[in-house]
Amino acid sequence: MSEMPGTRDGGLFRLTFDLAPSGMLAIGAGGRILLANREAERVFGYGPGTLVGVLVDELVPTAVRGSHAAHRADFLTAPEERAMGMGRELAGRRRDGSEFPVEIGLNPVRTADGIVVVAAVVDISARREAERVARDAAERVRNAQKLEALGTLAGGIAHDFNNVLLGIVGFTELAQRQIRETPSAVEDLDQVLRAAERGRLLVRRILSVTRQHDTAAVPLALERVVREAAELLRASLPTTIEIRVSVEPGLPPALADETLIHQVVLNLGTNASHAMEEGGTLCVTLARARANAALRTTHPALASGDLLQLSVSDDGSGMTPEVRARAFEPFFTTKPAGKGSGLGLSVIFGIVQSLGGAIDLQSEPGRGTRVDIWLPVALPAPGEAPAESPAPAGSGRSRHVLFVEDEPALAAMERRQLEALDLRVTLHTSSLEALADFRSRPGTFDILVTDNSMPEMTGLALAREVTGLRPGLPVLMVSGYADHAGAEVLEAHGVSAVLQKPHTLRDLDEALRSLLDR
């Protein structure tokens, strides 16, 4: 235990005490502050000289003042030095009532009037903020690594799974063309196609998290997509939840992606059901909207003009302001470990942004949640006539397709699809054989249709060789979501367009017609 300096050294002590970089307080046995330096006054928000005489309990949070007085009494019973490095981390209370983290060191000093406790106080708010920033940065790195690992996994399975789905869709459509006179069988096969579409949606949901697919915003009738998604929700949600769908009649198409809109409605509906464990009402509405000044102020990136507003609301438990503020953060979830990834709303936010739209969330505890999404309207150009139903891509079998697919079952199915479109087809299951065939008669073919992931030579390399021999030849790459490169790489290799697997016969027809009619 130290002793207070004598009179001769008192002036030096007071000067050192007052100029110390830490807040310094000298506290008497009764808990009154006897001395306070400038830094202590600054840290606690007091004016010069106004801390002297204040009870030290005023500098601790109100909730712990009772226990602080007891701890102070215990300390005076058996006082001992506590160096700053061994100081206790506590909370301090400023004069205005605000609280902040502090670290203290205590040193009991013997004087003629009894023990005086000299306390060194350091405001560690900046340190705590730096530690929080470092933790957040480390967490972002870990989350990025998780996404990278998930992306690697998703990219690995997407190609194979899409090939499986392509076989299901393709053979099912071919079978439907042969049994049109049996309505019940056609309906059964329609169910197979719907199941395959759900599989395709699942792949898109996985790849949405890893951002391994391109958004293709096209004019889309949202009413049909929203109603289909609501039907899927009806089949998956508990019967205690009522689903109400309201669509304003005569809506124009929106610039959107069908699968992504499916995903948005399904995710929002699923989230809403989790907030209505004892039942409730889920409302899905679709209506016209306008990018007025108020909306543009809240969402400045939103284009002006006509919009469609998609709203999903529930009467469930709602969110606290703290949860609502973080709702769109990746990996943020209020569910127990293993019950949620925290990716649903962050994925929806990314989808809406990629489509040039805006999203807003309103929620209060006990009063449910409402999510509003605005998407730009796709209006026809002035004087543009409605498109007529075009003829098939083929024209009396005058168009000749060089088709390359290394999986025999898919090759046979897709060949039948191409022939169903009235096209002449030369099929190769080897990219090297296809290249040799093309070199022997480059003027024979009207288009190259090729897979990308092939063992001997990729579709990209084949496209580069073929268009090098015959510049301008259309090339359609039929590819999984994860195995084709960006637009610049595709263009550099001579690829005209990419048709993503799994595709329907109609998708194939439209892609071929677009290229062959150029």
Report the pLDDT averaged over residues 225-253: 90
d(CA 124, CA 92): 10
Which of 167-176, 269-278, 329-338, 401-410 comes out lowest in average pLDDT? Answer: 329-338
Report the pLDDT averaged over residues 104-129: 86
Query: Residue 256 carries which DSSP code?
Result: E
88-93/99-111 β-pairing: antiparallel
What pLDDT, on the 0 to 100 scale, is given for residue 85? 42
d(CA 517, CA 439): 24
Report the pLDDT averaged over residues 81-98: 72
What pLDDT, on the 0 to 100 scale, is given for residue 147? 59
CATH superfamily of 2-123: PAS domain (3.30.450.20)
Is pLDDT above 50 for 444?
yes
pTM over 0.75? The answer is: no
Write out the residue limits of the CATH 3.30.565.10 domain(s) in the chain.
216-378
What pLDDT, on the 0 to 100 scale, is given for residue 379? 66
Is pLDDT above 60 for 337?
no
- Any residues with CB less than 8 A from the CB of 25 and at least 6 apart, and which? 33, 35, 36, 37, 40, 51, 56, 118, 119, 121
Higher pLDDT, 334 or 415: 415
What pLDDT, on the 0 to 100 scale, is given for residue 148? 64
Is pLDDT above 80 for 483?
no
Is pLDDT above 80 for 80?
no
Is pLDDT above 70 for 331?
no
Which of 18-32, 63-77, 198-212, 501-515 comes out lowest in average pLDDT? Answer: 198-212
Check whether domain 400-516 has CATH 3.40.50.2300, yes or no: yes
Is pLDDT above 80 for 222?
yes
d(CA 219, CA 439): 40
Give the pLDDT band of residue 246 (cuts 50, 70, 90). very high
Give the pLDDT band of residue 153 (cuts 50, 70, 90). low
- Any residues with CB less than 8 A from the CB of 247 and at least 6 apart, and which? 223, 226, 227, 285, 286, 287
Give the pLDDT band of residue 201 (cuts 50, 70, 90). low
Which of 2-11, 30-39, 170-179 comes out lowest in average pLDDT? Answer: 2-11
Higher pLDDT, 374 or 70: 374
Give 320-324 contacts, CB < 8 A, sequence gap 24+.
320/365, 324/361, 324/363
d(CA 117, CA 132): 32
Report the pLDDT averaged over residues 120-131: 90
* Tokens at 239, concatenated: 């019967």
d(CA 37, CA 24): 6
Please give the order of strands across the beta sheet that includes 475-479: 424-428, 400-404, 447-450, 475-479, 497-500
CA 164 → CA 93, 311, 387, distances in Å? 65, 35, 33
d(CA 60, CA 56): 8
CA 243 → CA 208, 229, 232, 270, 423, distances in Å? 26, 11, 11, 12, 46
Query: What percentage of the chain has pLDDT greater than the value 70?
Result: 81
Give the pLDDT band of residue 471 (cuts 50, 70, 90). very high
Write out the residue limits of the CATH 3.30.450.20 domain(s) in the chain.
2-123
Give the pLDDT band of residue 384 (cuts 50, 70, 90). very low
Report the pLDDT averaged over residues 97-114: 86
Is pLDDT above 80 for 505?
yes
Closest CA to 345 of 253, 208, 440, 449: 208
Which of 133-137, 245-249, 307-311 comes out lowest in average pLDDT? Answer: 133-137
Report the pLDDT averaged over residues 142-153: 64
What pLDDT, on the 0 to 100 scale, is given for residue 86? 47
What pLDDT, on the 0 to 100 scale, is given for residue 240? 92
Report the pLDDT averaged over residues 380-398: 50
Extended beta strands in 377-463, E state = 400-404, 424-428, 447-450
Give the pLDDT band of residue 152 (cuts 50, 70, 90). low
Report the pLDDT averaged over residues 101-116: 84
Establish whether the linkage from the previous residue to 48 is cis, with ω within 30° of 0. Answer: no
Around Cβ 441, how many Cβ atoms within 10 Å? 11
d(CA 463, CA 495): 6
Higher pLDDT, 333 or 423: 423
Give the pLDDT band of residue 439 (cuts 50, 70, 90). very high
Give 236-241 contacts, CB < 8 A, sequence gap 24+.
236/270, 237/269, 237/270, 237/273, 237/282, 238/273, 238/279, 240/276, 240/278, 240/279, 240/280, 241/273, 241/276, 241/279, 241/280, 241/281, 241/282
Is pLDDT above 60 for 482?
no
Is pLDDT above 50 for 461?
yes
What pLDDT, on the 0 to 100 scale, is given for residue 168? 85
CA quadruple 435, 511, 499, 381: dihedral positive or negative?
positive
d(CA 43, CA 58): 14
- Any residues with CB less than 8 A from the CB of 326 and at least 6 apart, and which? 332
241-247/218-220 β-pairing: unpaired
CATH number of 216-378: 3.30.565.10
Farthest-apart Cα atoms in the chain, separation: 115
Is pLDDT above 90 for 62?
no
Q: DSSP 3-state assignment of 407?
A: coil
Report the pLDDT averaged over residues 36-45: 94
- Any residues with CB less than 8 A from the CB of 262 and at least 6 apart, and which? 201, 225, 228, 229, 232
* Tokens at 405, concatenated: 């697919």
Residue 62 phi/psi, 5° resolution? Answer: -55, -35
Residue 477 phi/psi, 5° resolution? Answer: -95, 120
Give the pLDDT band of residue 137 (cuts 50, 70, 90). confident
Closest CA to 476 of 499, 493, 454: 499
Average pLDDT over all residues of the chain: 81
Residue 121 phi/psi, 5° resolution? Answer: -120, 130
